[in-house]
Structure 1
Amino acid sequence: EESEEEDADDYERCLLSSITKRIRSSVKSMAYRSWVVEELVTDLLTVLQEHLLNSFFPVLQPAIEVGSAFEGWSPCGHDAFYRLLVPIKPPRGHAFHLELGAEGDMPAKDSCVRVELECTCTRDQGVENVLCFLHQREEALSRNQVSSLLGTLCTGSYLDVEKIASWFQNMVRPAWREMPQSHLYTMKVLPSSRSCKLQVTNASGRSLFIEMMFGVQRGNSDIFLSSQTAEAIFTPSTIWAESYAVAEVKFFRHVAMQAPRDSFHLKCLQLCAGSVVGTGFSTYTLKTIVMHLLNTIPLSSWRRREFLMRLQDIMWYLHSCLEEKRLDHFFFGNENMPEDIVLPPDIQTAKPINLFQYLVHDPTAHTKALREFSVL
């Protein structure tokens, strides 16, 4: 019996060593690629901001790195898309008004961004040759000072996601040629109707895949209305989806600051997320579970020696959620939230939202999910 226990321990150690070496190599590669992408996008936006100076197009803000590749746990390895959210603000003489869908909908669905002209008569008195679109409309038209935003990037009075994506893509091509890195990388704009996807390839033929989404911030919070929708169904071009990606990346940064340097929490998430690729479970489900566990299990208990125990905890949590047909959204009504994550009041005080609600109404889907879990 002792010999069998020793063999089991040896096998466990070898398995753990093999897994951690593979994941450690992947994490190092992702970290370097993240740095390259951050530098490329920062320089690209700098060129675009210079081109748009004093225009009446949206004001591009510094990009925010979001998603699994920047959080350090992408299961896709070298093929990962590096996603960034580019916040946009209204140009001078304009205002964005967020319409968050039907009252009481949580999370907000079918949200829109309405664009309104603002009076600049008083505010811009010291700015030469600037006319107010509201009160000097005829003179503005005679000088060809029209609202580029309302005229080209809106449908009616609402920001149009597809028009913004096309406008941005058309600007990226000439802007890339002005960047110092253009002689080191070739850049190709990939098809995308609601974002800007780039394939950047170096001299040795290795490619980076970058996706820039556009977002309008909800007040001063970490929640945005995003151009990218999660659903594969048709979405009207004036509809923006509520995104929690910035709050999520801030949560993982908060954990990284509090956790021991040898913490394996991202390795746990990467391995578990990789195991569900190609199944009916989304990687976002595993991400939500791990965020909940990071909020309940002490961060000192995510080290290498507890690696397999934490993997078991993640899978047991998933099984329990499937049995109960309930997985709470991480942010809605969660009282155990780090102070540096800023949520709108309606999300802070909301009742928890069940991400597995569809299993309650669809017994066939529930049976299929349990069967897929047994295979995992």
Structure 2
Amino acid sequence: MAMGLFRVCLVVVTAIINHPLLFPRENATVPENEEEIIRKMQEHQEKLQLEQLRLEEEVSRLVAEKEALHQAEEGQQPPEAHTAWDLWSTLCMIAFLIIEIWRQDHQDGPFPECLGGDEDDLCGMGSTPLRGLPLPNKAILDHFYEHCIRSATGDATRTREFVEGFVDDLLEALRSISNRDTALETEDFIGVGSMYENWHVERPLLCHLFVPFIPPEPYSFHPELWCSDLSVPLSRQGYGQIKVTLAGGDPLGCICGKTKLGEDMLCLLHGKNSGVQPGAGANDEMEDLLCSRESSHLDAMQVMKWFQVGLTRAWHRIAHKYEFDLAFGQLDTPGSLRIKFRSGKFMPFILTPVIQCNDSDLYFVPQLPKESCRVTPASSTDWLLSFAVYERHFLRMTAKALPEGACHLSCLQIASFLLSKQSRLTGPSGLSNYHLKTALMHLLLCRRAADWKANQLDVRLQELFCFLERSLQEKKLHHFFVGNRKVPETLGLPEAVRRAEPINLFRPFVLQRTLYRSTVDSFYEMLRNAPTLISEYSLHVPSDRASPPPKAVAL
């Protein structure tokens, strides 16, 4: 009797271990569509029915054994063969249970050790991609990196120096033609992005510079963050508004009627026609506003218009000193400029007017380049909160603690290279370089410094793709700074940002199923193409990496 009960317990435990609802496999394949989900549910239903039949048969057999045992107690001896069979079946059941436990542990794979409580769930993933897509080994990756990436970024320093020198001259000209009583005052630029974090890969090399500006006296800016207020809709988290007031907090006034504005110059609050030329229509006034009268909030699009007008006039003032032309570049990228040399070569860069958030290194930017995986701001008075300066500080601070020749930026460069090639092949997806950098920073925070040695390049690159894979499965990639209390306090991040609710950068995937499906397909195709692509580029490095010049609008 005891032996029979023991066998029943083994059957039940085995069924529980195999039940996917209680022990879901982390590496379950993403269903292709709803029909695939229904088919797998039907298969699971059939398995449960078969398991139920097995249990019913086992119960019936146990009832028969109980009757046989009862007869044995009355003097009838059961056959010795039956006793031997019971022992053999029990041993087989135990072996089956052990094999099942080992199989599931083996499929789950090793889990990397993490050094942070809140980051454990971010790093607890297998070391093999979901669909078993192999990546090149370390030797091939090292050869590829040395010949195709390091050599392509060798002139980054000279590019930065040239662009910075020109921008200094351009901004100085902008200050000289600006009316200090009515125009925004520009400060020194700040270099951000991949060129200043030393992981830019693609040609042409692109410098991105923030140009902070402040209002003229007696006005002041009062930023309003939307990353910590629970009443703010999810679609507007990470944005904010900038209220314009007088220095003493008094209601807005305007001094443009007291000072003559220069040609093509716009007042901070009103355009050149507002309050200056009597008889101007109300519609004309509203079109020229930099700040909405009704809300007293700065309009991002009007600020960009002011900035572009100012840059045009500044360039005309210094154009005679240079032997090249300057034009606006991509129209969907605010502040995109392009230097065109007489030889036909060009050099793009981006100047973005920004507003500093209080005394921190946070900055409000009018709008980033259009990306499919980004929620569009609801109003032109919504400014995106940028952590670009903090990202640069974090990567530099982390690099000091890592071993010499650490592979963290190499991983990011290779991943960025593969993503850009895949985008050219199949078109842009919802995955961007910013998502790659966010994933890397999460891993840097939870990995030990010794794990980033140069000889760990292949392992860390595979782990980076595993992290992105899991994030895509869960449609969840948390912003690295917002709500992340594991970020070192020495970075100086505002406490309101650290204690805010985390922002999910993959939230658009929840709302846009088509975008999500195409992004997942593109991601796995990128992994499938990676070995061939890396091998091809390792054997033959293209002599001309420059992209075709974008359409431009002359200044």
TM-score by length of 1: 0.80
In structure 2, relative to structure 1, the CA distance for the partners of 1:307 and 1:323 (3 Å cut) is same
SS of alignment partner, residue 212 of structure 2? strand
Per-residue CA deviation, residues 181-215 of structure 1 (Å, 9 max, x unaligned), is 94243211236477322111334433111111121
Which of 207, 210, 218 matches 1:93?
218
Tell me what 1:72 maps to.
198
SS of alignment partner, residue 149 of structure 1? coil
Moved more, 21-30 or 47-56: 47-56
Residues of 1 paired with 2:309 and 2:241: CA distance? 24
Task: Please tell me whether the aligned partners of residues 331 and 347 of structure 1 are also in contact (alpha carbons under 8 angstroms).
Answer: yes
In structure 2, relative to structure 1, the CA distance for the partners of 1:28 and 1:258 (3 Å cut) is farther
Tell me what 1:33 maps to.
159
Task: Please tell me whether the aligned partners of residues 223 and 358 of structure 2 are also in contact (alpha carbons under 8 angstroms).
Answer: no
SS of alignment partner, residue 353 of structure 2? strand
Please give the residue correspondences for 1:107-126 in structure 2 after superposition, counting only pairs within 5 Å: 108=237, 111-118=240-247
Per-residue CA deviation, residues 59-102 of structure 1 (Å, 9 max, x unaligned), is 11111111223222234221x43211111112111011223459
Pair 1:270-2:413 in alignment: yes
Rg (Cα) greater in structure: 2
Residues of 2 paired with 1:273 and 1:309: CA distance? 17
In structure 2, relative to structure 1, the CA distance for the partners of 1:193 and 1:325 (3 Å cut) is closer
Residues of 2 paired with 1:151 and 1:291: CA distance? 43
What is the Cα deviation at residue 28 of structure 1?
Answer: 1.7
Moved more, 288-297 or 336-345: 336-345
Aligned residues, how many? 352
Tell me what 1:166 maps to.
305
**Alignment-mate amino acid for residue 170 of structure 1:** V
What is the Cα deviation at residue 313 of structure 1?
Answer: 1.2
What is the Cα deviation at residue 51 of structure 1?
Answer: 3.0
Residues of 2 paired with 1:143 and 1:180: CA distance? 29
In structure 2, relative to structure 1, the CA distance for the partners of 1:217 and 1:108 (3 Å cut) is farther
Pair 1:148-2:267 in alignment: yes
Tell me what 1:357 maps to.
507
SS of alignment partner, residue 199 of structure 1? strand
- Segments of structure 1 that go 5 or more residues without pairing to the other structure are 1-9, 121-132
SS of alignment partner, residue 148 of structure 1? coil
**Alignment-mate amino acid for residue 58 of structure 1:** L
Tell me what 1:332 maps to.
482
TM-score by length of 2: 0.56
Answer 1 or 2: which has greater strand percent.
1
Task: Please tell me whether the aligned partners of residues 187 and 212 of structure 2 are also in contact (alpha carbons under 8 angstroms).
Answer: yes
In structure 2, relative to structure 1, the CA distance for the partners of 1:81 and 1:11 (3 Å cut) is closer
Task: Please tell me whether the aligned partners of residues 158 and 238 of structure 1 are also in contact (alpha carbons under 8 angstroms).
Answer: yes
Task: Please tell me whether the aligned partners of residues 30 and 77 of structure 1 are also in contact (alpha carbons under 8 angstroms).
Answer: no
Which of 253, 257, 265 matches 2:396?
253
Residues of 1 paired with 2:198 and 2:166: CA distance? 19
Tell me what 1:214 maps to.
353
In structure 2, relative to structure 1, the CA distance for the partners of 1:234 and 1:354 (3 Å cut) is closer
Task: Please tell me whether the aligned partners of residues 189 and 211 of structure 2 are also in contact (alpha carbons under 8 angstroms).
Answer: yes
In structure 2, relative to structure 1, the CA distance for the partners of 1:39 and 1:261 (3 Å cut) is farther
Per-residue CA deviation, residues 7-65 of structure 1 (Å, 9 max, x unaligned), is xxx97524421332211112222332122222222222222223336332111111111
**Alignment-mate amino acid for residue 150 of structure 1:** L
**Alignment-mate amino acid for residue 272 of structure 1:** A
What is the Cα deviation at residue 234 of structure 1?
Answer: 7.1
Residues of 1 paired with 2:303 and 2:509: CA distance? 36
**Alignment-mate amino acid for residue 242 of structure 1:** L
Residues of 1 paired with 2:138 and 2:226: CA distance? 51
Tell me what 2:384 maps to.
241
Query: Would you identify which runs of 4 or more consecutive aligned residues in structure 1 move more than 6 Å?
Result: none
Structure number with the bigger relative contact order (C-alpha 8 A, sep ≥ 6) is 2
Task: Please tell me whether the aligned partners of residues 218 and 344 of structure 1 are also in contact (alpha carbons under 8 angstroms).
Answer: no
SS of alignment partner, residue 217 of structure 2? coil
Residues of 1 paired with 2:328 and 2:396: CA distance? 30
What is the Cα deviation at residue 251 of structure 1?
Answer: 1.6
What is the Cα deviation at residue 269 of structure 1?
Answer: 0.4
Tell me what 2:524 maps to.
374
Tell me what 1:290 maps to.
440
Residues of 2 paired with 1:172 and 1:290: CA distance? 36
RMSD over aligned Cα, in angstroms?
A: 3.4
Pair 1:306-2:456 in alignment: yes
